[in-house]
């Protein structure tokens, strides 16, 4: 039976009520267990809305241990953010089922999904079908290199909006605009606004959002959920500023 309230419902509520949200991306390659315990203590003081867990490569072997730690010490919903069907180990609450619709590589449009489908079906994870758009950010990112796809041009909001619309028409429930980990330039306000004006899905934006000002600008342009990875991994104290920026942003 479908639960009364799902993770997807929580994303839709952000969109509908203008309640902006912060997701912290935990790349298993960037966190030790001690580092994660430190971050969890900070999150207790400065609550966040979601943890996304994943990386483009995942060289370390402790993803499952980090997830167990998260589930043991926090009630923040945990979503797997897999770059490959190899990276599905839990425990978690849900999974961003990405289809890389900015690219034309069938492996990341449907191939990985076919391989993963039986395991995902058996996992009990809530699956959130997500139109995933990589956007050019001034330098090649691991995600575009590893997926063998060209990112969307930074200065073409119309292509992003049309791509997101096609994803929505195909039934994808979330839209994720990602400039990629460590992007030099985040997704532009013009592109966020164009996508926001075109699709009704909740809109997640990430990549290179490493200052409070950039977070505020992405939210003001229409992001419902902003994602911070590197800056918090490098400087956990930034969490407080990120949470403050998101909590002080209201829907325009």
Ligand X SMILES: O=P(O)(O)OC[C@@H](O)CO
Nearer to ligand X, 125 or 227 (CB): 227
Under rule CB under 6 A, residue 113 binds ligand GRG: yes
Q: Which of 136, 229, 243, 249 binds ligand GRG (CB under 6 A)?
A: 229
Give the other-Cβ count within 10 Å of 64's Cβ: 13
Q: Which span sits near ligand X by CB under 6 A: 12-20, 97-105, 111-119, 229-237?
A: 229-237
Q: Which does 142 bind (CB under 5 to 8 A by kind): ligand X, Mg ion, ligand GRG, none?
A: ligand GRG
Under rule CB under 6 A, residue 209 binds ligand X: yes
**Residue (of 83, 71, 148, 149) closest to 116 by Cα position:** 83
**Maximum C-alpha span of the chain:** 46
Under rule CB under 5 A, residue 27 binds Mg ion: yes
CB of 107 to ligand GRG, least distance (A): 8
Q: Which span sits near ligand GRG by CB under 6 A: 8-16, 41-49, 50-58, 161-169?
A: 50-58
Residue 180 assigned ligand-binding role: yes
Residue 152 assigned ligand-binding role: no
H helices, E strands: number in the chain: 11, 8
Q: Please, is 5 exposed, middle or buried when counting C-beta atoms within 10 Å of its C-beta (0-12, 13-18, 19+)?
A: exposed
**Residue (of 35, 130, 40) closest to 78 by Cα position:** 40
Helix (H, G, I), strand (E, B) or coil at 242: helix
Q: Please, is 82 exposed, middle or buried when counting C-beta atoms within 10 Å of its C-beta (0-12, 13-18, 19+)?
A: buried
Q: Which of 83, 112, 144, 230 binds ligand X (CB under 6 A)?
A: 230
What is the enclosing helix (H) or strand (E) of 130? Answer: strand 126-134
Residues 158-197 within binding reach of ligand X (CB under 6 A): 178, 180-183
Q: How far apart are CA 190 and CA 194, in angstroms?
A: 6
53-92 mask for ligand GRG (x: CB under 6 A)?
-xxxx-----------------------xxxxx-------
Residue 207 assigned ligand-binding role: yes
Q: Which span sits near ligand GRG by CB under 6 A: 34-42, 93-101, 159-167, 168-176?
A: 93-101
Under rule CB under 5 A, residue 141 binds Mg ion: no
Residue 49 assigned ligand-binding role: no
215's CB contacts (< 8 A; 6+ apart) are: 22, 209, 226, 228, 242, 245, 246, 249
Under rule CB under 5 A, residue 178 binds Mg ion: no
**Interface residues with ligand GRG (CB under 6 A)?**
27, 54-57, 81-85, 97-100, 108, 112-113, 116, 132, 142-143, 146-147, 180-181, 229
């Amino acid at each position: 039976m479908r639960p009364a309230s799902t993770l997807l419902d929580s994303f839709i509520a952000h969109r509908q009520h203008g309640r902006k949200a912060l997701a912290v991306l935990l790349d298993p390659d960037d966190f030790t267990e001690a580092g994660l315990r430190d971050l969890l203590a900070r999150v207790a003081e400065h609550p966040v809305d979601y943890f996304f867990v994943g990386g483009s490569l995942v060289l370390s072997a402790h993803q499952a241990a980090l997830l167990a730690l998260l589930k043991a010490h926090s009630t923040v919903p945990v979503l797997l953010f897999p770059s490959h069907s190899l990276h599905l180990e839990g425990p978690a609450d849900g999974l961003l089922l990405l289809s890389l619709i900015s690219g034309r590589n069938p492996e990341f449009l449907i191939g990985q999904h076919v391989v993963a489908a039986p395991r995902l079906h058996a996992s009990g994870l809530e699956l959130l079908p997500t139109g995933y758009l990589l956007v050019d950010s001034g330098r090649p990112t691991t995600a575009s290199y590893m997926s063998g796809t060209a990112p969307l041009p930074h200065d073409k909001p119309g292509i992003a909006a049309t791509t997101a619309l096609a994803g929505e028409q195909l039934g994808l429930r979330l839209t994720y605009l990602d400039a990629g980990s460590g992007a030099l330039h985040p997704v532009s306000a013009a592109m966020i606004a164009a996508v926001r004006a075109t699709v009704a899905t909740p809109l997640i934006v990430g990549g290179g959002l490493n200052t409070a000002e950039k977070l505020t600008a992405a939210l003001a342009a229409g992001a419902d959920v902003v994602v911070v990875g590197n800056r918090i991994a490098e400087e956990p104290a930034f969490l407080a500023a990120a949470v403050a920026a998101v909590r002080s942003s209201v829907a325009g």
